[in-house]
A and B are shown apart, each in its own frame.
Chain A
């Protein structure tokens, strides 16, 4: 440890959607790394410890080191030449970078999509279908006397969700914290989150929708046949008891995870939990919230929505945004072989997409921007190494409850940030597109430049 130590207070951890902004980071400025992250959970500590400065080049083309400028030129040429270029990722970068990425898609008439399409995309669709009664996390802390988690395991995925926001904190109308709340966990198996709950309800795999729909019926005073237990693994008495708890609480909340959105039923499951929440507002105040994963996936939804009107899966082929999940979502554009160039930003689809999609990635020019070498950067035609948001750059991120937070940089990185690279690419693709169309406009005259 060197003498050159800096303390950064109120820094933000972007590992998960909790986006805790109470980190106290101890930074060794000589070694350029974070040696201590006070208040961080186990995941956050790993996040801060692992993001040191690497020794890979800022830019590579086909595995060979090149200048940043050469890589920007090659990227712009590749994107403009393509007939169906796609941009994907974005959930682990700043809103400022996301805005540039959407601009590039607009200019090149490409397709833009985010990791939402493979996590809570179904919740986005359900939201469009039925709406949602929801809240910022502080309302849960201050008011919720009934907290239900469904299809998620925050103890493992969002370790501070319970302690910072929802279960243990004392709040304005919850003076005794945990003692004033009833906590329920619904899942297909007993997870490490179960000990936190007063009541654990085990549902047969793939039967969440049936349980949710039965709850809706019971809330509305309809009869449910006791055979529901055989179908779902949950007895009628248990359901009736849960309905009783839900109707009689003062402020209830239903959190849900990918156990609902990525299993049988998908957006029907999300829609059912949102509709159940709406129904409950006839009796008391009730809210619901998907527990989002990546640090700024919520920001990506917001940026795409304000710039295009749609949250993910957006295509600009016709010169204006169109939305069609299944058609313009990335697993689909790759698996069908539509995409003829791809730019992946702060995401590693080559490590987690279906095999057929990865096979297609290998056939087309791929551009990657990432803080680390990844499966995706390894197969990329152009690979940029960028600095890490919230560690080397400031900028804006949105917590899972749409609350925007400005990050603090802990130490400088020799690598450029995503926004800088994307802004340069945007300028260059704009020039190329104008040249292609024979339009003479000085850069700076138009919005896009």
Chain B
């Protein structure tokens, strides 16, 4: 495929540029969308087709130490779902935790061209970047886990705010991360150091520091430094009955500052601890609807096989107690914990149906699709390969009703799902899968089709069955290059690493280094990840860089 390309006759969905189904040409040159190209440019006739920017996944788990442990753990997950190679592409295996090559190619077969790995330990950053090198097609970045970092917590305890800020920036630079991630902040130390306990309240102090203090410090610091994407937060008490109060308190802690709440479905439960929950989707989405500083992704549960993998190690242990399945726990020195187990969501189980219904409630009661983004917290709520089915659930009320009739009715009765008639439009789907996440990530060249945008484009045949439609784009173009044409792979692409390089005072290294020498088992000089791990990459500017 030539360096110049013109897509003609397609119906464009480009919410960032307010284009809703208008037939218009798109011109591409050198990997970017441009105003015009010469007449001899290669043409793609998109007559009867829908043209969208490539999909952007704001929250998934696709690369790094915990993902690879989950791959190793489940040969049974791979063997039923081989991923043969083609002359253009490498082979691999699928299942809920696909191999790296299969991950990149399968995202492409859904029309997704960008995905963000949502939880990487700093010490695992090098591993994650190595896997990214083998994850084709998509552009990708990761969020670095700093919320349970012992050194940073010590600085907060001692009130050393400026050093905290410098150290956060140092860690983000040293790992090539895209933003910071908090997971069950404050919960690691009770888990590792106090016989597998946990924090249960956002204001519960552990050794003088509460989750709220940690959350507040990170939200403020990240906003001060103008990261393109704010602190990405997995709240305390995930999965527990009554946790919606913690979620509301976490959002209140942000005040009017930007914050992203991950997989809010898992954080919208009412009821009493230890008993079956009910839905508090209405309360959670009401807060999100009325607070434009908050973005979130839903973390929809889809029935069938999933894999739990989370830095929330105590939660994984709780789930292990329910399923008695094989279980992995990994403690990472000074930085994080991690839990992994196979899981399956079943229609007849009250809890699973409630989770499924709450996710849909959140989508259907959302008033601002730009800030309530599609995710399954892949593979925790289900594979990203189920996104087309989720889109159909949102766009097709009849299909939704059929599905509702097949699940646990006691759980459905605890939700408002039967009363929600809304059907998402293609325009809104484009927002929750492309424009919204790109905007929330601060990726100005993604999520739209205007001049200057990365030429990451998906062309779908327009079909009534939206699951079928979103499952098989006719063309996928990545950085101006056709990867899929007429449903077949016709090329390959490496994709690039997206990361940020916030400025910091190098003197902070003198503060961090003694801690390393005492408590880490890797030498300080060998810790920071070198540029050699970034093959093709893009530094996304912070507000302070501009």
Contacts and interface: CB of A to CB of B under 8 A. Distances in A.
Contacts of A278: 327
A120 to B, nearest CB: 12
Given A309-B98, A405-B522, A95 B130 contact: yes
B283 interface: no
Contacts of A447: 88-90, 101, 136, 492, 494
B113 to A, nearest CB: 16
Contacts of B251: none
B92 A131 contact: no
A251 B192 contact: yes
B196 interface: yes
Contact of B73 (A128, A173, A323, A404): A128
A83 interface: no
Most chain B beta-carbon neighbours within 10 Å: one of A141, A173, A403: A403
Interface stretch (B33-41, B233-241, B329-337): B329-337
A318 interface: yes
Interface string B51-66: 0000000000001010
A405 B127 CA distance: 9
Most chain B beta-carbon neighbours within 10 Å: one of A138, A284, A320: A320
Contact of A128 (B72, B82, B526): B72
Interface residues of A, number: 72
A411 interface: no
Contact of A133 (B79, B134, B327): B327
A421 interface: no
A12 B526 contact: yes
B492 A446 contact: yes
B72 A311 contact: yes
A306 B131 contact: yes
A415 B130 CA distance: 25
Contacts of B78: 309-310, 321, 323
A118 interface: no
5 contacts: A106-B90, A135-B333, A136-B332, A406-B126, A446-B492
A446 B136 CA distance: 11
A172 B150 contact: yes
A21 B123 CA distance: 14
B530 interface: yes
Most chain B beta-carbon neighbours within 10 Å: one of A12, A103, A139, A396: A139
Interface string A398-418: 100011111000000000000
Given A142-B334, A323-B79, A447-B136, A137 B71 contact: no
Contact of A446 (B89, B520, B525): B89
Interface string A114-137: 000000000010011111111111
B99 interface: yes
Per DSSP, chain B at the interface is mixed
B340 interface: yes
B257 interface: no
B80 to A, nearest CB: 11
Given A131-B341, A138-B520, A307 B92 contact: yes
Interface stretch (A68-76, A211-219, A434-442): A434-442
A320 B82 contact: yes
Q: Which 9 A-B pairs have the closest CB atoms?
A: A138-B333, A309-B93, A131-B326, A320-B82, A135-B331, A309-B78, A133-B329, A138-B521, A447-B492
Interface of B: 63, 65, 67-69, 71-75, 78-79, 82-85, 87-93, 95, 97-102, 123-124, 126-127, 130-131, 133-134, 136, 150, 191-193, 195-196, 317, 325-334, 340-341, 491-492, 494, 518-523, 525-526, 529-530, 532
B491 A445 contact: yes
Contacts of B327: 131, 133, 278
B126 A318 contact: no
Given A95-B130, A320-B85, 7 more contacts: A106-B85, A106-B90, A128-B72, A281-B196, A320-B84, A441-B87, A446-B87
A173 B330 CA distance: 19
A172 B519 contact: yes
A307 B100 contact: yes
A402 B65 contact: yes
B23 to A, nearest CB: 32
A134 B330 contact: yes
A219 B538 CA distance: 53
Contact of B521 (A124, A128, A137, A307): A137
B75 to A, nearest CB: 5
A92 B299 CA distance: 41
Contact of B84 (A12, A251, A285, A319): A319
B530 A171 contact: no
A22 B331 contact: no
B37 to A, nearest CB: 22
B90 A448 contact: yes
A166 to B, nearest CB: 10
A353 B237 CA distance: 52
A170 B329 CA distance: 24
Contacts of B97: 309
A36 B95 CA distance: 50
B101 A307 contact: yes
A234 to B, nearest CB: 27
Contact of B75 (A128, A132, A138, A398): A128
Nearest to B332: A136
